[in-house]
Amino acid sequence: MWNKPYTLKEGFAIAVGLLLTGLALQMMVGPLDWDIFAWPGNIAVLFGLIVVLIVIYLMRKRFYFCSFLTTMKAAVPAMLLAVVLTIVMGLTKQVPSDKNPADPIGITKMLSFWPFVLEYVWMTVIVGEVTIHQLVEFKRRRIPSFVSHLGLFIVLTCSTLGSADMKRLKMFCEIGKPEWRGLDAWNNVHELDIALQLERFTIDEYPPKLMMLDRRGTPQPAKKPDMIIADANGGRLGGWTIRIKKYIPDAMPVALSKMIGRMPAGMMANIRMDSLGMSRNKAGYIPSKTRGAAYAAFIEATHGKEKRSGWVTCGSFLFPLQMLHLDNNYNIAMSNPEPRRYASLVDVYTKDGKAEQTEIEVNKPFAINGWKIYQLSFNEQMGKWSEYSVFELVADPWQSVVYAGIFLLLAGAIGMFLTASTNKRKETQQ
């Protein structure tokens, strides 16, 4: 071992040595803090890395180890261990960047795990040396390979060093009130150069479902609960035949509706109906567009000669849920509706004078002045009557550079595929 020329044995020895060194660092100093690479630290590190790579390449004729970096014997072990660690990261639940690892070793925070970092640094050095070598020994037929290696180098360096400059903030916006402050993961307040004003929140919901609950509130059967869509005709639950006689998407208890009709407008915000009030609501439910209306259904349940009928509702912030009592052990309840789509109509203002109105929904962010604004959540207790939205604002100044690297990587891969196909066709013709 360590006899020239080096083989895969030496390549694996270096990779395993870095792995053990990383474990020692992990035990001594803890996870790597990427915040130390925030601007301008990251650009200084990147510049320093490029200088070191150039120096190593210039010394490749004097030191065999420097020339070994551009061989497959060095690249294969580095890639193999990096892939193994990446698979481990994919198989373990990772904690957020602002949290400590959930395990004693640190693999639940893999991006800050020293063995992972060192293996990827080693692979980046190899990719960088190969890129420089292909540039110095330039040949037209190697252009796709050069472009691919250059793209990979850009992705490896800029996606990691640039992560320290990424800003991820939460903004809580109430209807009609402009907001320009965001909270980071540590609940620190940041004043931004953009402001949002929520104009309207809308939500599309799946119909709620009917289910059977035992005395502990556990859906039945426990392993795989049976459910009936509330706007259907009916079905069977736990041996009971359920028929849905009436279904109201926006319903209000009759007693509460009468109370609201006699209540001064200034006291509306304080109205609530408790379980005692619900027990006295003998008149059932009526359609209503009043804020706080919820799904309700009048159902009939039969089991042999036994028959039960009554109203069920999932309730809202104005009134609690209501179940149909079957016997001493079981009840029929209505689940809360699940959101299918929700979005916010917002006015967006910037310090440089821009003003735009747009609708932001889940997985369809709005981009302005380097920020991407995502619909994150809403007041789930109030459901479709929510009066505020929670947005996530993300700024990643290195993102365009990383995308450029990915484009070069893909372009190089396509070029290598086409070149290989052309060469194979020429060999066949000969």
Tell me the C-alpha distance between 316 and 312, whole Å.
12
User: How much is the pLDDT for 294?
Assistant: 95
Omega prior to 101 cis, within 30 of 0: no
Tell me the C-alpha distance between 129 and 137, whole Å.
12
Contact 314, 209 (CB under 8 A): no
User: How much is the pLDDT for 426?
Assistant: 60
Residue partners of 77: CB distance under 8 A and separation at least 6: 8, 11, 12, 14, 15
User: How much is the pLDDT for 81?
Assistant: 96
Q: What are the pLDDT digits (tens) for 351-406?
A: 999 999 999 999 999 999 999 999 999 999 898 999 999 999 999 999 999 999 99
Provide the 3-class DSSP secondary structure of residue 379: coil
Provide the 3-class DSSP secondary structure of residue 169: strand
User: How much is the pLDDT for 423?
Assistant: 64
Q: What are the pLDDT digits (tens) for 280-289?
A: 888 999 999 8
User: How much is the pLDDT for 282?
Assistant: 86
Spans of all domains in the chain: 8-166+399-429, 168-203+340-395, 207-337
- Angle formed by the axes of helices 72-91 and 114-136, to 10°? 140
Cα 323 to chain center, whole Å? 35
The strand ranges marked E within 72-218 are: 167-174, 178-183, 189-205, 209-213
Q: Which parts of the chain have pLDDT scores under 70?
A: 261-270, 421-430
Q: What is the pTM of this model?
A: 0.78
Contact 340, 362 (CB under 8 A): no
- The end-to-end CA distance of the chain, in Å, is 43
Residue count (the chain): 430
User: How much is the pLDDT for 269?
Assistant: 60
Short-list 85, 82, 123, CA closest to 105:
85
